[in-house]
Each structure stands twice: as structure tokens, then as C-alpha cells.
Amino acid sequence: MPSHKALISKVAVPRELLTLSNASSAFTLQLTGYAIVLVVIAALGARLTPVGFPNVIFVLLTLYILATGIGWFVSALRVFIPDLDHLLPTLLMFWFFMTPIIYAAELLPPVLQPLTVINPLAALVEDLRAALLAGQWMPSTASVVILLVAIAINYAGWRFYSFLKPHFEDFL
């Protein structure tokens, strides 16, 4: 939001579009990279099952809703707390490495495996892995619960953003 200071103060553009465009462009970029990785994995001989693609779409939609909801909170807070720009990349990198994306949760030491339950993205990643490699076409119960939580976070984030929106110009 602070990077769009001139746009917010001089042009009558819905501020919500700035947050949505940032989230959507980042998601599209990551989705493109994800598709390239899938092509490479398939080229290396892994058998991807198209039966699980409805579950893949479900998981990716859940991730988008969750990311947008977090984006509402963060973009509103960044106006008032500029140092959040320095803290957020570190927190997101920590969250990335705590999520079993580049490793399977079973590869963790037995002592650390229960900690993956705390991370809501772990269940989504496991569903994504099961959909692509094992053909699981229905989302797990955990993923459905995460979708409901993501919708709640998205709504709460939008309400939080809407509540603080009238004060943005004063702090930019």
C-alpha cells in the first residue's frame, strides 16, 4: 500500500483493487512456476494422475482465498506500521520452510512430525501431493476445514481493511 502512495492520494481508484491486484499477480506468478515444476517432474519420469486435478484446483483456490485474506490484513497494517515490510519476508520464509513443500512430512524426525499439524498449509500440501501422485480427487476433511477457515480469514481481513481504509491517506 505505501508503494502506491501517489495513486491512493491523487487518483480515484478503489483501494481494494491494489490489494487484490498484488495478491492475484503474485498468485499467478507462483502458479506459472508451479506448472513449470510439474512439467519438469513429469519429464523426469514421475507419473502425474489427471484424476486428482479437481482436488488440485480445490487446494489452489483455498490457497488463493487464504493468501488474499492475509493480504487484506497485511496491506492495511503496512500503512500504519512501515517496518512490517522488513519483518514480513522473514516470517514468510520461516513459514515456507516449516511447510512440507520441498520435503515429505514423513522424512522429518519422529519428534518433529507432530508439529506439522500446527501448520494449516501442511494438510493442503499433503492433499496436493496426494492429488497429483496418487489420484486423490476429493479433498480431505482437513482441507475442507482449512477452506472454511480461509473464507473466515478472508472476510475478517476484508472487514479489517474496510475499517482502516478511511485513515490510509492520513498515514501515507
Amino acid at 137: W
Amino acid at 65: I
Residue 128, domain extent: 2-171
Could you report how far apart the first and last alpha carbons of the chain are, in Å? 9
Q: How far apart are CA 35 and CA 17, in angstroms?
A: 26
pLDDT tens per residue, the chain (172 residues)?
556 566 556 666 677 888 899 889 999 999 999 999 989 988 998 888 889 999 999 999 999 999 999 999 999 999 899 889 899 999 989 888 888 888 888 888 888 888 888 888 999 999 998 998 888 989 999 999 999 999 999 999 999 999 998 887 766 6
How many domains is the chain built from?
1
